[in-house]
């Protein structure tokens, strides 16, 4: 299985998003580079609205992710509840 990845700007909101990702994707790898955080996982990665809201303590629209997103790799599927990344092979 190949790795999917997501890179976020290293800022205050991303900190909580990363916490949510860590909780929902056991085994995920977090790499800190200057000004950015890179998150990698084997095969799939999911960002759940509910978990992010819990960490942030406020409503959060999945599309708000775009404000902090730098780049990603994998097939994207997004709806009101989550954004997921996956490779089929």
Q: Which residues bind other proteins (CB under 8 A)?
A: 2-5, 7, 9, 33-36, 63-64, 66-80, 87-89
Name the minimum Å distance from CB 32 to other proteins: 10
What is the nearest approach in angstroms of other proteins to the Cβ of residue 19? 20
**6: closest CA among 61, 88, 89, 86?**
86
Q: Give me the sign of the Cα torsion angle 18, 65, 47, 76.
A: negative
Nearer to other proteins, 17 or 74 (CB): 74
Please name every residue paired with 4 in a beta bridge, in sequence order, or none if there are none. Answer: 41
């Amino acid at each position: 299985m190949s790795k999917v990845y997501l890179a976020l700007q290293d800022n205050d909101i991303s900190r909580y998003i990363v916490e949510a990702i860590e909780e929902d994707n056991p085994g995920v790898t977090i790499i800190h580079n200057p000004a950015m955080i890179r998150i990698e996982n084997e095969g799939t990665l999911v960002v759940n609205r509910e978990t992010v809201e819990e960490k942030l303590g406020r409503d959060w629209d999945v599309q708000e992710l775009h404000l902090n997103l730098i780049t990603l790799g994998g097939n994207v599927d997004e709806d009101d509840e989550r954004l997921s990344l996956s490779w089929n092979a």
